[in-house]
Chain A
Amino acid sequence: MLQVLIATGLVLAISAAFAAVLLVAERYLVNYGPCKIDINDGTRELDVRGGDNLLMTLKGSGIFVPSACGGRGTCAYCKVRILDGGGPVGPTEAPLLTPEEIESNVRISCQCKVRNDLRIEIPESLLSVREYRGKVERIRDLTHDIKELRIKLVEPEKIKFVSGQYVQLEAPAYRDNPAPVFRAYSISSPPHMDDTIELIIRLVPGGICTTWVFELLKEGDDVKLTGPFGEFHLTDADSEMIWIAGGSGMAPFWSMIRQMQHDGAARPCRYFFGAVRRRDVFFLDEMRQLEQELEWFKFLPALSGPEQGAAWDGEIGLITEVVGRHVQGDGEREGYLCGSPGMIDASIEVLKAKGVSDDRIYFDKFA
Chain B
Amino acid sequence: MILAQPATQIEPGSALNLMIILITATLTENMLLTRFLGMCPFLSISRQLKSAFGMGLAVVFVTTCTCFLNSLLYWHVLVPLEAYGVPAESLKLILFIVVIAAFVQFMEMAIERVSLGLYFSLGVFLPLITVNCAILGTSLFMINKSLAGLDALVYGFGAGLGWMIAIVLMAGIRQRLARARVPEALEGPGITLIVAGIMALAFIIFQGMIKL
Scoring A residues 70 to 90 as 1 if CB is less than 8 Å from chain B, else 0, what string do you get? 000000000000000001101
Main secondary structure of the interface of B (DSSP, over half): helix
Is B98 within 8 A of A87, CB to CB? Answer: no
Minimum CB–CB distance for B91 against chain A, Å? 6
Minimum CB–CB distance for A2 against chain B, Å? 7
> Which B residue sits closest to A2, measured CB to CB?
B85
Q: Is B10 an interface residue (CB 8 A)?
A: no
Q: Chain A residues with Cβ under 8 A from B87's Cβ?
A: 3, 7
Minimum CB–CB distance for A123 against chain B, Å? 27
Q: Is A206 an interface residue (CB 8 A)?
A: no
Q: Chain B residues with Cβ under 8 A from A26's Cβ?
A: 109
Is A6 within 8 A of B81, CB to CB? Answer: yes
Pick from A15-23, A156-164, A167-175 the stretch touching chain B: A15-23
Q: How far is B98's CA from A26's CA once the two chains are assembled, in angstroms?
A: 17
Given contacts A14-B98, A21-B102, A25-B109, contact A90 B124 (CB under 8 A): yes
Given contacts A7-B87, A11-B91, A91-B120, contact A30 B109 (CB under 8 A): yes
Q: Chain A residues with Cβ under 8 A from B109's Cβ?
A: 25-26, 29-30
Q: Chain A residues with Cβ under 8 A from B81's Cβ?
A: 6, 10
Is B91 within 8 A of A10, CB to CB? Answer: yes
Q: Is B185 an interface residue (CB 8 A)?
A: no
> Which A residue sits closest to B107, measured CB to CB?
A25
Q: Is B169 an interface residue (CB 8 A)?
A: no
Q: Is B39 an interface residue (CB 8 A)?
A: no
Is A11 within 8 A of B95, CB to CB? Answer: yes
Is A90 within 8 A of B85, CB to CB? Answer: no
Q: Chain A residues with Cβ under 8 A from B112's Cβ?
A: 29-30, 113
Given contacts A3-B85, A6-B81, A30-B109, contact A88 B120 (CB under 8 A): yes
- B-side interface residues, number (CB < 8 Å): 28
Q: How far is B77's CA from A18's CA once the two chains are assembled, in angstroms?
A: 15
Q: How far is B105's CA from A92's CA once the two chains are assembled, in angstroms?
A: 18
> Which B residue sits closest to A111, measured CB to CB?
B124
Is A25 within 8 A of B106, CB to CB? Answer: yes
Q: Chain B residues with Cβ under 8 A from A88's Cβ?
A: 116-117, 120
Q: How far is B80's CA from A224's CA once the two chains are assembled, in angstroms?
A: 61
Is A15 within 8 A of B98, CB to CB? Answer: yes
Scoring B residues 97 to 132 as 1 if CB is less than 8 Å from chain A, else 0, what string do you get? 011011001100110110011001100100000000
Q: Chain B residues with Cβ under 8 A from A90's Cβ?
A: 120, 124
Is B86 within 8 A of A18, CB to CB? Answer: no
Minimum CB–CB distance for A274 against chain B, Å? 34
Is A11 within 8 A of B94, CB to CB? Answer: yes
Is B86 within 8 A of A6, CB to CB? Answer: yes
> Which B residue sits closest to A31, measured CB to CB?
B113
Q: Is B54 an interface residue (CB 8 A)?
A: yes
Minimum CB–CB distance for A101 against chain B, Å? 18
Q: How far is B81's CA from A10's CA once the two chains are assembled, in angstroms?
A: 10
Q: Is B207 an interface residue (CB 8 A)?
A: no
Is B85 within 8 A of A22, CB to CB? Answer: no
Q: How far is B110's CA from A237's CA once the two chains are assembled, in angstroms?
A: 56
Q: Is B51 an interface residue (CB 8 A)?
A: yes
Is A92 within 8 A of B110, CB to CB? Answer: no
Is B113 within 8 A of A22, CB to CB? Answer: no
Minimum CB–CB distance for A91 against chain B, Å? 6
> Which B residue sits closest to A24, measured CB to CB?
B106
Q: Chain B residues with Cβ under 8 A from A21's Cβ?
A: 102, 106
Q: Chain A residues with Cβ under 8 A from B99's Cβ?
A: 14, 18
Q: Chain B residues with Cβ under 8 A from A87's Cβ?
A: 116
Q: How far is B115's CA from A87's CA once the two chains are assembled, in angstroms?
A: 11
Q: Chain A residues with Cβ under 8 A from B110's Cβ?
A: 25, 29
5 closest pairs, A vs B, by CB? Answer: A18-B102, A3-B85, A29-B109, A29-B113, A90-B120
Can you list 11 residue pairs at the A/B interface with Cβ under 8 Å? A7-B85, A7-B90, A10-B91, A14-B95, A22-B105, A25-B109, A29-B113, A88-B120, A90-B124, A91-B51, A113-B112
Contacts beyond the supplied A7-B90, A11-B98, A26-B109: 20 A-B pairs with Cβ under 8 Å: A3-B84, A3-B85, A3-B86, A7-B86, A11-B91, A15-B98, A21-B102, A21-B106, A22-B102, A22-B105, A22-B106, A29-B110, A29-B112, A29-B113, A30-B112, A30-B113, A90-B120, A91-B51, A91-B54, A92-B124
B residues touching A (Cβ–Cβ < 8 Å)? 51, 54, 73, 77, 81, 84-87, 90-91, 94-95, 98-99, 101-102, 105-106, 109-110, 112-113, 116-117, 120-121, 124
